Structure 1
Amino acid sequence: MFLLKYLALLLLTAQIRKAQACDEFTDLAFGHAIIGTTMKTRLLLYTRENVTCGTLMSHTDISNHPQFNLSKPTTFVIHGYRPTGSPPMWLQRIIELLLIRKDVNVIIVDWNHGATSLNYFRVVENTHKEAENLTAFVKKMQECGASMSSIHMIGVSLGAHISGFVGANLNGSIGRITALDPAGPEFNGTPPEMRLDPSDALFVDVLHTDIDSLGYREPIGHVDFYANGGTDQPGCPKTIFSGGAYFKCDHQRSVLLYLDSVSYTCESKAYPCSTYKDFLDGNCTSCDRFGDLGCPVFGYNVTDWKDVLLELGQTKVFFSTNTVSPFCMTNFRVDMMIWNKDVRWGYITVKLHGDGKESVAKINHAATKFRRYTETTLLAQFDKDIQEVKTISLTFSSGNVFTPRYKLRLLRIRLTNLDRKDRPLCRYDILLENKEVTFRPIPCEESNF
């Protein structure tokens, strides 16, 4: 169904494109970043009738655009710093996905003339000018009957703060701001009026992917998602020898994660926790505070949790991802009890088999301590979702080739799917040595869960 809708939209917009000229996002050369540009804003409208053909909006006469239906919700997409002047590679993709999801007006805010410069500080100054321009346009919309609560702004990096400035100018009346890795440099440590903050919209959801470099560090919305702890996204280069990707990959990952959430690819559940380490240690697997809804999912659908999140106040949540799309992982709580006399330290790898697939979780962020007759809780994050688990494989390793190869005698292991309400899987009396052990799980007895 999703593919059919997508093809139908493309066919319709291709027919319209033949009949009219299309306005494109500004494409500047690197030379513009050196010599500088004059601040200019272009608003490009896309609808289900013109998915790939933008229409340049008038800033003063909205009535000139019959395709702009103010009875529909409007989503603004605001890019960030463009040091080379090139258009963002993800623009057309986000337009298509948003329009498949919902019949809205999508407006791409093209402020490339203000965002292209080698002087980052000048571009930061331009964010306030851009916000004033965009605020005037939204006020025109309001005068023509648009509902402020139906406006959604998606801001990337500096675009997140522009969204915040617009929201503040409108007294926090716009419906939603989604901030994708809000820019950190020149904004970290500043007061709320100098950056995005929760009062800028009725609901502010934020994703952090590069808090140790280009992104904003602290919570800044009603709910703040920290993907992989907010740093070092999997699959991104680890050394400077990888070139430009080393500097921008973590930051740009925020957009790719959001696209996954819009496209129905999969859902990433996120867990409230004080630190990412506590999350990885399995100390934050409870979602009781969210009631029957369970823990919130990152991205497009987080508004399903809006009322609860607004009641809770600022909420900080964590999730982990795969290296490529589909980025979402499947989360299990693993409870283990050993009957070795001596304490054991080591790492566990769990594999799930079923549906003709194998899914792997390596619990290796830190050595785990196992003590006799004491239940140890771990968080296992699997790269794939397996609906019906047939067999499970376990490997125990001390992680040190110079120490003896210890045996781990499991009295019991219990695996609980945190993303679905499946009955937990158990197994009793297993001997783990320095090799993989495979077994068939059984449904846990009622007293064990």
Structure 2
Amino acid sequence: MPSTAIDSQIHGFLFGTDEMRNIFSDKSWVQKWLDTEAALAKAQGEIGIIPKEKADIINAYAQADRIDIPSIGEYYKSSITIVPLLKAFKAILPEGAGEYVHWGATSQDIVDTGIVLLQRDAYHVIVRDMKECQKAALALAKKYRDMPMAGRTHVVHAIPITFGYKCAVWADELGRDITRLKEIKERCFVGELAGAVGTLASMPEKGLAVQKRMMDILGLSVPTIAWHVARDNQAEFCTVLALCAGTLGRINHEIFSLQHTEILELEEPFFMGKIGSSTMPHKRNPAVLENNLALLRNVRSIAPAILESMISENERDWGCFLSEWEAIPRACHLMGAVLSKTKYILENLIMYPKHMERNLFIQKGLMMSECVMMHLAPRLGRMTAHEIVYKSCMEAYEKEIPLKEVLMKTPVVTEAFTEKEIDHMLDPHHYVGLAPAFVDRVMKKYAAE
């Protein structure tokens, strides 16, 4: 019976995806362990450490569907080694082949390699969906390259940008995260075959050959030396996920912020039948964004726990990777859910161009203070120009009147500029700077990908 939010038939959609649940299902865990044992046996059979015919039987029967999975759980009540799997596997192997399973290996070789294989499957989904989110952000950047909107710093109006520029910033940050994910691939997807303390004492003559062939079969990198207690790869994996979660959190929060009723420049996708409140029928709540933001906080919180797991003792310490068994799959589940929902949001984002246009003028010209100052500066000097415009802006702000009204009664301004020139300076459409050019730079950067 499901008992976690991720597996819940009620809440499961909020916390995970079927794809990621399949990757980390009990059947998948068992299959990855079997794949590891089978690769070990195949390598040993080829090299002559165990009889080849026994290795062939082991490989033929290494199928999770054949295994009594509940019995593994029962055995785990008295052992957290790989022995529960070995007992269940041996029970189905004919011709005494079970006596040759796990030859020269230790439990951690199998469980560590198994979780790396699971991580690799999850990694491919995460990278794929990160690319899909970036693709959607790039499409928005291109489409809205020239659409002016209020730029905001410290949550208040600054100077104009374009919405395409904002989306291009998202796309470039996602691109850097994708690069980080690609860079960890070689370091993180390393198998393990090292024996009790990492010295391969059980296979002194042919151990390295077995290790290499085993990893070739599994498609994993060969470890330079045992990593039984060196958990930096797992920590890096979770840390990079946390960085991705930071980027996704910022994007989701930005859309969330711009859905405020008083702003309403963006809105998460809506469809008839989507209910925001049981008591207020008018509500169109940003429920998907809130869902994402909650999950992303949890993803980021997992990284410190896995970093703590790096502190392990001597040559073996089960305490370090028991944390990983629970936390790494959870991080992948939550990321899978968030990426699926973020892709949906970005591809179906509701835009309110009229509200963007309205908000450009909501402060009655104050947003254009820098523009006015930069026009005055060549004549008066920058600091003097700043002081004049500052006083004008504060008067306009406190009296809630248009900045133009104050400027038109400021002699130093009217002596230098005509009313038409002042109107031009106060028009936000003429002051988006190089925003469109920066969009083009980002588009060009990722055009070949």
Question: With structure 2 as the length reference, what TM-score do the two structures score?
Answer: 0.23
Task: Give the structure-1-normalised TM-score.
Answer: 0.23
Say which structure is richer in helix. Answer: 2
Structure with greater strand share of residues: 1
Bigger relative CO (Cα 8 Å, ≥ 6 apart): 2
- The higher radius of gyration belongs to 2
